Structure 1
Amino acid sequence: MVSYPAKPSSMTLQIILPWLVTSKLLQCQQLRSHESISEISSVVDENLGKRPLDGQMDTRIYRVFASTWNVGGITPSDGLDLEDWLDTKANTYDIYVLGFQEIVPLNARNVLGPRNSCIPTKWNSLIKEALNKKEREEGVRLNKEATNSSAMEGSMQGEGFRCIRSKQMVGIFTSVWVRSNLRPFIHHLDVSCIGSGIMGCLGNKGSVSIRFVLHETSFCFVCCHLASGGKEGDLQLRNLDVADILARTWFPGRATQDLPEKILGHDQVVLLGDLNYRISLEEAETRPLVKAKNWAVLLEKDQLLFEFSRGRHFAGWQEGLITFSPTYKYHPNSDQYYWCFDRARGEKKRAPAWCDRILWRGRGLKQVQYETCDYRISDHRPVRAVFHAECDVLEGMQK
């Protein structure tokens, strides 16, 4: 039996927390003395993700669906329908990249104890049900029309989606699904986890990155949960978390091929998650602007967009135009923001913010959709994006 630490007293927290923050800042200062985020972002060999090829190259375009969702530690119900979130009724995609945060509550038991694999398994089961529902219904129809079972089996060959990799680190969970007929063309599938939470290493915050090569093009998908909070200094901690993740994430190389070992070495990169960037306005100023849906003024004070504009961080990264409501903090099972309800005594104020974001970089990657989705089980709304991804393909290998 595993014993877990008792909940620390308020006096203990007063002693420990300043030390933890100082420790985190010292660690990040060492990282910054080596290279800043902008320096990390700029040192990218344009040919790093490409392997020398003797044959002729062709190009194929695949549709990639990427989404991030902080589910607030809520275990999904058995009947939770994910079709609307995954947009399976209206559209079809080739690759789904799904990043979760707080898939389990971020308490001491989950941070320090053994991994709870039941909840990720349940999410994957619901995802599989939603992604393959259309194919199953089509199979039933064909089965009724077919004169023999072999006719139906032939018609269903290569259809459906399968999970090629999923990985959990405490509350961060990343799951990648592809069309079954694409699986033979995916290789060098690897995962890397970076904890950047308590003491700069625990997995209550950090990233889970999954990379693979499709045909001859390398992809890397980074699911993050960055430092939270709206106090002075929290913005710097988020920036340093990103630098830490970019610097420490590593994938195994191969002696036979020049494969990228770092995130930014891949041809196409998508970074998604609860990045926790807030709006640099007082709560009293934010509320009327949110009520008026004056996104333009609020976005002028968005911390992440401010970091983009300064050019010091996130060099080379892009984000689509934000036209949706702030994704945090909602009252669960409601369309109302948290401040619309009476708070319990002692609870922190939580002004709305666009905490949940999707960024990308790389040649041949084009974002064609960026929006939120109306699922109310959490205090966050899921955010999703659709990309058209160009892949280099050797002639004769397309089928």
Structure 2
Amino acid sequence: MWPRLVANKILRKRLGSNNFVADFPRNREIPSLDRPSLSPDSIFCHHKDTHNYRVFVSTWNVGGVAPPEDLDMEELLDTGNTSCEIYVLGFQEIVPLSTSNVLGSENNKVSTEWNSLIRRALNNKNTGQDFRCIISKQMVGILISVWVRSYLCPYIRYPSVSCIGCGIMGCLGNKGSVSVRFQLHETSFCFVCSHLASGGRQGDEKLRNSNVSEIFSRTSFPRGPSLDLPRKILDHDRVIFLGDLNYRISLPEPTVRLLVDARDWNSLLENDQLRMELRNGQFKEWHEGVIAFAPTYKYRPNSDVYYGCFHQSKKGEKKRAPAWCDRIIWYGTGLKQHAYIRGEENFSDHRPVKAVFTAEVGVIHPLKQFQSLFLSERFDRITRQTDDFVCKGRSSFQM
């Protein structure tokens, strides 16, 4: 373990492969319905250049527990009340931490179980929906899975992933991020699923800030065939950062518990470490919705009782103050948040958090599509074939 770990550290090796799971080949040709039509109506008609799509995002640290058989994923996804075109689900600790998996080996069995549950919930026969997975990627305990309505699949291009390990010695995969990107029509999306350094002691927030800095600096994506695609996280048009960010509340533990009991969220949030970073720190210029729900960490599994409560604590047991560890934030313009809530599934020591956004997406004007046809390699091939046919045959038209 240690020789490999040291080598990875020296070489600044990016953890995990660039491969990912999807419902269709990543390099397939875009179907004909994405190509410009040559009919007069499509050439000269005028359409709006911006479409709005609803995006569901969730994050959940599942505490190393495999999904229970009775887990209601439809409740987590809120499919009965919310209808979105894109679903992005991030998980942390989907496998228990062990020496054998922190170096980056992927146990696909658990991620397959989660994806099967997601597929079943999104494609419930009662809702008549049809969703496809465009990217699913696991690095040790971090999993991100992206699903879109099937009619959008032809307009999804350049999906790719980038994995960054920030654990022991700055490279183990028990902490870090899995970032995914794709282009929908003419707009690029980047979703970063993270699990940052833990710890509630004074100064531990600096470790989390260091993780974030590493993720921003080391994450990179391919430039694409035309070398014009964004490579870094913040270069994308729509960026959402989600995960167990592990930021705590900078108040004494007894004070935190009293304020939680009083449901005084404002006093707690004034001392929330992530809010401080949003104001003037590592996440300056990022945005977060209004938090109107109880802290999501740390619960006793299968209960609604916070870990380490005075009447529940055992002798010698380490106390952990409640905190909003699980967060969803976004960067830039073109995203509008409509909901920011937590779920109540309780088999983990964390509660899931979910958000719903409207995302603006640029769409090429049909006339521009028609013009792009004449600038494409496909049109060059057509004209070359036509020229060969004319040269080889006899023309019946004479001047």
Q: What is the TM-score normalised by the length of structure 2? A: 0.78
Given that residues 69 and 380 in structure 1 are in contact (C-alpha distance below 8 angstroms), is that contact kept between their aligned partners in structure 2?
yes
What is the 5 A alignment of 1:134-283? 136-137=125-126, 159-283=129-253
Deviations 1:217-269 (A, max 9, x none): 00000000000001122110101110110000000112415110000000010
Deviation >3 Å, runs of 4+: 341-347
Q: Which amino acid aligns with 2:60?
A: W
Q: Which amino acid aligns with 1:168?
A: Q
Aligned to 2:123, the other structure's residue is in SS state helix
Q: Which amino acid aligns with 1:226?
A: L
Indicate yes or no: 2:100 matched with 1:126: no
Q: Residues 232 and 267 of structure 1: is their aligned pair in 2 closer, same or farther, counting only changes over 3 Å?
A: same
Q: Hey, what's the Cα distance between the residues in 2 that align with 1:307 and 1:79?
A: 38
Q: Which amino acid aligns with 1:324?
A: F
Q: Which amino acid aligns with 1:77?
A: P
Given that residues 329 and 353 in structure 1 are in contact (C-alpha distance below 8 angstroms), is that contact kept between their aligned partners in structure 2?
yes
Q: Which amino acid aligns with 1:227?
A: A
Q: Which amino acid aligns with 1:372?
A: R
Indicate yes or no: 2:351 matched with 1:362: no
Given that residues 57 and 394 in structure 1 are in contact (C-alpha distance below 8 angstroms), is that contact kept between their aligned partners in structure 2?
no
Q: Hey, what's the Cα distance between the residues in 2 that align with 1:251 and 1:138?
A: 36
Indicate yes or no: 2:298 matched with 1:329: yes
Q: Which amino acid aligns with 2:265?
A: W
Given that residues 268 and 365 in structure 1 are in contact (C-alpha distance below 8 angstroms), is that contact kept between their aligned partners in structure 2?
yes
* Residue 290 of structure 1: how far off its partner (Å): 0.8
Given that residues 237 and 332 in structure 2 are in contact (C-alpha distance below 8 angstroms), is that contact kept between their aligned partners in structure 1?
yes
Q: Hey, what's the Cα distance between the residues in 2 that align with 1:137 and 1:369?
A: 24
* Residue 344 of structure 1: how far off its partner (Å): 4.4
Q: Which amino acid aligns with 1:283?
A: E
Given that residues 57 and 392 in structure 1 are in contact (C-alpha distance below 8 angstroms), is that contact kept between their aligned partners in structure 2?
no
Indicate yes or no: 2:305 matched with 1:316: no
Q: Residues 108 and 285 of structure 1: is their aligned pair in 2 closer, same or farther, counting only changes over 3 Å?
A: same
Q: Which amino acid aligns with 1:342?
A: Q
Given that residues 136 and 146 in structure 2 are in contact (C-alpha distance below 8 angstroms), is that contact kept between their aligned partners in structure 1?
yes
Q: Which amino acid aligns with 1:253?
A: R
Q: Which amino acid aligns with 2:149?
A: R
Q: Residues 72 and 138 of structure 1: is their aligned pair in 2 closer, same or farther, counting only changes over 3 Å?
A: closer
* Residue 390 of structure 1: how far off its partner (Å): 0.4
* Residue 345 of structure 1: how far off its partner (Å): 4.4
Q: Hey, what's the Cα distance between the residues in 2 that align with 1:288 and 1:328?
A: 15
Q: How large is the RMSD of aligned CA atoms in angstroms?
A: 2.4
Deviations 1:4-62 (A, max 9, x none): 89xxxxxxxxxxxxxx9xxx9xx99xxxxxxxxxxxxxxxxxxxxxxxxxx98710000
Aligned to 1:137, the other structure's residue is in SS state coil
Given that residues 56 and 394 in structure 1 are in contact (C-alpha distance below 8 angstroms), is that contact kept between their aligned partners in structure 2?
no
* Stretch moving more, 215-224 or 83-92: 83-92
Given that residues 104 and 173 in structure 2 are in contact (C-alpha distance below 8 angstroms), is that contact kept between their aligned partners in structure 1?
no
Please, which runs of 5 or more residues in structure 2 have no aligned partner?
13-45, 370-399
* Residue 286 of structure 1: how far off its partner (Å): 1.1
* Residue 353 of structure 1: how far off its partner (Å): 0.2
Partner of 1:287: 257
Q: Residues 178 and 138 of structure 1: is their aligned pair in 2 closer, same or farther, counting only changes over 3 Å?
A: closer
Q: Hey, what's the Cα distance between the residues in 1 that align with 2:354 and 2:74?
A: 13
Match of 2:307 among 317, 325, 338: 338
Q: Hey, what's the Cα distance between the residues in 1 that align with 2:56 and 2:213?
A: 26
Partner of 1:303: 273
* Stretch moving more, 68-77 or 388-397: 388-397
* Residue 114 of structure 1: how far off its partner (Å): 3.5
Q: Which amino acid aligns with 1:59?
A: T
* Residue 79 of structure 1: how far off its partner (Å): 3.1
Q: Hey, what's the Cα distance between the residues in 1 that align with 2:245 and 2:137?
A: 19
Match of 1:389 among 359, 367, 374: 359
Given that residues 247 and 323 in structure 2 are in contact (C-alpha distance below 8 angstroms), is that contact kept between their aligned partners in structure 1?
yes
* Residue 368 of structure 1: how far off its partner (Å): 1.2
Partner of 1:142: none
Q: What is the TM-score normalised by the length of structure 1? A: 0.78
Given that residues 160 and 182 in structure 2 are in contact (C-alpha distance below 8 angstroms), is that contact kept between their aligned partners in structure 1?
yes
Q: Hey, what's the Cα distance between the residues in 2 that align with 1:315 and 1:303?
A: 13
Q: Hey, what's the Cα distance between the residues in 1 that align with 2:216 and 2:163?
A: 11
Q: Hey, what's the Cα distance between the residues in 1 that align with 2:353 and 2:152?
A: 25
Deviations 1:272-299 (A, max 9, x none): 0000000011111111111111111111
* Stretch moving more, 111-120 or 233-242: 111-120
Given that residues 60 and 90 in structure 2 are in contact (C-alpha distance below 8 angstroms), is that contact kept between their aligned partners in structure 1?
yes
Partner of 2:62: 71
Q: Hey, what's the Cα distance between the residues in 2 that align with 1:331 and 1:79?
A: 19
Q: Hey, what's the Cα distance between the residues in 1 that align with 2:103 and 2:163?
A: 16
Specify which structure has the bigger relative contact order, considering alpha-carbon pairs within 8 angstroms and separated by 6 or more residues: 1
What is the 5 A alignment of 1:36-47? none
Partner of 1:151: none
Is the radius of gyration larger for structure 1 or structure 2?
A: 2
Q: Hey, what's the Cα distance between the residues in 2 that align with 1:384 and 1:297?
A: 23
What is the 5 A alignment of 1:28-39? none
* Residue 315 of structure 1: how far off its partner (Å): 2.1
